[in-house]
Amino acid sequence: MRTQLDVLVRTALARGAAVPAFTCYDFTTALAVVEAAEHIGAGVILLVAPKTAASPVGLRLIRALRGLADAAAVPVSIQLDHASDITAILAGVAAGADAVLVDGSALTYEENIQLVRAARDAIGDPGIVLEAELGGLAGDEDRAFALNASGLTDPGQVADFVARSGAQLLAVAIGNVHGRYAGEPRIRWDVLADITSRTKVPVVLHGASGLAAQDLAQAPASGVGKVNFNTELRTGVLSMLQMQILAHREDGENLLGILDLWRETVRAFTTASLETLSGRANH
């Protein structure tokens, strides 16, 4: 069942869990994510990358994801990820996105606020949930370079930013990065605690791939209600394909067999993420 993203996240937080969000470049991945969520009995978020949403084919994918969410037995939200172009945002929403990460993190503080407000004014529909990003997350969500964390979110800006931008969720920089981590990730829980003490909107953790399971399990209790996954999911599928394509040539290039393994890989990763963020992995 399609569900408003902030409702999904707040409901999870109320029971001590966070909602995982998975970048879906294709329908096969989205199907497997929803299948795993239905098996576990928990909600999920399907993320659409900005480069995907910028094309007519990507807009068709969003429409297909909307149908998948409507038919799901668990709550599902569709979010346009890391969007900064108002025209592209409007097209994604028209195609069926329930929420948008309006990403002005590369702009100045005031320009970031203005972009989020401009997106809200342009969309018009209060039912479309807006996430914003405050702080500098290193990396590109569609690539997997090894990176060090860059600028942290300034907790002193949080209350003013949320109030003036109207953001309903806030993505923060607390030692996380997009892509792979160079060395061991060091999450600044002290900075996160300061941030959550200054706002009531759910906090979002991007760049979850590569974080230790104990860090992810701790996140909901620290006020994180949504956790984004991309790199680890994507590289897991690619590794499986590299191993299996040659093997399947021997049985007539069995594409259905490869697609089954694709879904199995995604289902396993989704299940593990759901269990970790709900605390079930510890029981």
pLDDT for residue 155:
96
Flag whether pLDDT at 125 surpasses 80. yes
Kindly report whether the global pTM for this prediction surpasses the value 0.75: yes
Name which of 278, 277, 242 is nearest 262 in CA terms.
Answer: 242
Can 81 be counted among the known catalytic residues? yes
Ligand-binding annotation for 22, yes or no, is: no
CA distance 63 to 70: 11
Tell me the pLDDT band of 149, cut-offs 50, 70 and 90: very low
Residues of the chain with pLDDT > 90, as a percent, come to 70
Helix pair angle (255-278, 27-40), 10° resolution: 50
Q: Is 250 part of a structural domain of the chain?
A: no
pLDDT tens profile 162-191: 999 999 999 998 887 755 554 567 788 999
Q: Is 63 part of a structural domain of the chain?
A: yes
- Between the CA of residue 234 and those of 22, 60, 100, 229, 241, what are the distances in Å? 10, 21, 21, 9, 11
Q: Is 243 part of a structural domain of the chain?
A: no
Ligand-binding annotation for 231, yes or no, is: yes
pLDDT tens profile 73-122: 999 999 999 999 999 999 999 999 999 999 999 899 999 999 999 999 99
H-type alpha helices, the chain: 5-14, 27-40, 50-53, 56-71, 86-95, 109-123, 155-165, 189-196, 213-218, 231-249, 255-278
Ligand-binding annotation for 229, yes or no, is: yes
What DSSP designation does 91 have? H
User: In the beta sheet, which residues pair with residue 46?
Assistant: 22, 78
Ligand-binding annotation for 283, yes or no, is: no
Tell me the pLDDT band of 145, cut-offs 50, 70 and 90: very low
CATH of the domain at 36: 3.20.20.70
Question: How big is the CA angle at 22 (ends 101 and 53), to the nearest 5 degrees?
Answer: 50
Ligand-binding annotation for 82, yes or no, is: yes
pLDDT tens profile 244-272: 877 766 655 678 888 999 999 999 999 99
Ligand-binding annotation for 209, yes or no, is: yes
Ligand-binding annotation for 264, yes or no, is: no
Number of domains in the chain: 1
Encoded tokens for 36? 């795993």
Tell me the pLDDT band of 212, cut-offs 50, 70 and 90: confident
pLDDT for residue 180:
54
Of these residues, 26, 70, 81, 154, which one is catalytic? 81
Q: Is 238 part of a structural domain of the chain?
A: no
Q: Is 261 part of a structural domain of the chain?
A: no
Q: Is 240 part of a structural domain of the chain?
A: no
Structural domain boundaries, residue 222: 5-233+266-282
Q: Is 245 part of a structural domain of the chain?
A: no
Burial 7-30 (b: 16+ CB within 10 A, else e): ebbbebbeeebbbbbbbbbeeebb
Q: Is 249 part of a structural domain of the chain?
A: no
